Amino acid sequence: MVEVVGVTKVHPGGVRALDGVTVGFGQGSFTAVMGPSGSGKSTLLHCAAGLDRPTSGQVVLAGQDIGALREPKLTAVRRAHVGFVFQSFNLVDSLSVWDNVLLPQQLAGARPDRSWAKELLARVGLAGREKARPGELSGGQQQRVALARALAGRPEVIFGDEPTGALDLSTGREVLGLLRRFVDELGATVVMVTHDPAAAGWADRVVFLADGRIADDMAAPTAEKVATRMMELTR
Ligand SMILES: Nc1ncnc2c1ncn2[C@@H]1O[C@H](COP(=O)(O)OP(=O)(O)OP(=O)(O)O)[C@@H](O)[C@H]1O
């Protein structure tokens, strides 16, 4: 679903955040991306999602070589195939829950699928809260709105940048359980940056970065295995 091939990213100022990274994320898989602070996790996510352009190398997203696309075609591909969930929720406070969920499709000029949006809000446990404003909801509820919004356009891939980073333990677990269900029941592809070994334990696989390179690729992760590997990598 997403292929990152030999990607190097040198940020302005000369920081080599990614150094020849090759990694693929298959359809219906849930991958956690981990690594020490500054190892290139966010840069990898942004390059894979077409939010940032690699200095060299190739990114294929939903069958398209996105390096070859110029704006606004790149934005159109991203809107059609990608959903995002951020640590800070990024909801629009002046809009209702319902309008927040439909917003990306409206921005994309697509006709919103209202019955799907309604089903998604029910799946994340927010049926009946359509008219509420984000400010009236708890952090966990806001992140669940963000999840419904990320999925409303039926994207093939959902990218999460520390989606549970601002949530308490039990609310974070709820959000991870929902992501897991979206993968298992809807065949979504999830790629999530996290610092939390317990969160990574919900994934099928953990890709570890260190100094802009892939340091390890762990299948069937558990919180314990992940924590041990993290300790080794930060030593
Ligand atoms: N826009 C930018 N301009 C210049 N340097 C940047 C930019 N974005 C990231 N960097 C640098 O690139 C390196 C990798 O950053 P990145 O945010 O990808 O790491 P990370 O693993 O996500 O870190 P963290 O866990 O702290 O969020 C760091 O040295 C960072 O300072």
Q: Can you give the residue ranges of every domain in the chain?
A: 2-87+157-234
CATH of the structural domain 2-87+157-234, one choice from 3.40.50.12160, 2.60.120.650, 3.40.50.2300, 3.40.50.300: 3.40.50.300
pLDDT single digits (tens) 103-116 = 988 888 888 899 99
Closest-CA residue, ligand 1 atom 25, reads 37
The answer to whether the CB of 212 is under 6 A from ligand 1 is: no
Which protein residue has the closest C-alpha to ligand 1 atom 27? 37
How many A from CA of 43 to the centre of ligand 1? 6
208-233 residue pLDDT tens: 999 999 999 999 999 999 999 999 98
Backbone φ and ψ of 58, nearest 5° = -130, 145
ipTM of predicted complex: 0.96
CA distances (Å), 67 to each of 64, 70, 182, 204, in order? 9, 8, 28, 28
Ligand 1 atom with least separation from CA of 40 = 18
